[in-house]
Amino acid sequence: MSKQNIILLAVFIGIVSLIILNREGMRRQVSTDMEREQRTLFDPERSNFAIVSIKNIEKGQTVTFEKRGADWFVKEEDCPADEFQVNRIISALPQIRLGQEVGDWKPDFSKAYGFDKGLEISAGGKTFSLGGNRGTRIAMKYDNTLYLSPFREKHVFVRHEGNWCKKVEEPEVSDNDQAEPGMEE
């Protein structure tokens, strides 16, 4: 084998080795990223949601759900809560994933990531904020760290008419109920 062929063979082996190492490194990075994407904010088996507080930062309004026995109540209104809406919130909380870590929290992030119009949620002993959408992700602040979370269910924590109380249907009044006594036909 000539000296030139040995050099070409060594270069070829070097290039193949670099490609294999690069692929393995990328595989490890993807695996690490996928693991981070799956980290949830709450442990579904250990979390106890007896009190859930949601603050709409833009409107400056807070609603607090409190479990009393088997029923949920809206603390601010002292009324029974809409069970369907509260159950949606309770079932959404364990699904919240942290996602990609952007970095330590900076005051500049408040407006840049939509936290000035976002929600601050306290549940299960944790407080976190949901900001604006970033493509397929949502900005989330937890423990003074900014994340881009794959959790996109922010709408579950918002009630557009603002009334979280259970709707009580008024009994219908018939014409016979309105007639004066003794005036029946």
> Mean per-residue pLDDT for 88-117?
92
pTM of the complete model? 0.72
Rounded Cα distance, 118 and 154, in Å: 9
Query: Which residue pairs, CB below 8 angstroms and at least 24 apart, start in 53-60?
Result: 53/121, 53/122, 53/123, 54/89, 54/119, 54/120, 54/121, 54/157, 55/119, 55/120, 55/121, 56/119, 56/158, 57/115, 57/116, 57/117, 57/118, 57/119, 57/120, 57/129, 58/116, 58/117, 58/118
Residues 6 or more apart whose CB falls under 8 angstroms from that of 109 comprise 115, 131, 139, 141, 146
In tens, the pLDDT along 6-21 reads: 888 888 888 888 888 8
Partnered with residue 148 across adjacent β-strands are: 100, 139
Please determine, for residue 56, whether its predicted confidence score (pLDDT) is greater than 90: yes
DSSP codes joined into one string, 5-18: HHHHHHHHHHHHHH
Q: What pLDDT does 175 receive?
A: 59
Q: How many CA within 13 A on the CB side of residue 24?
A: 6
Per-residue DSSP letter, 172: P
In tens, the pLDDT along 106-117 reads: 999 999 999 999
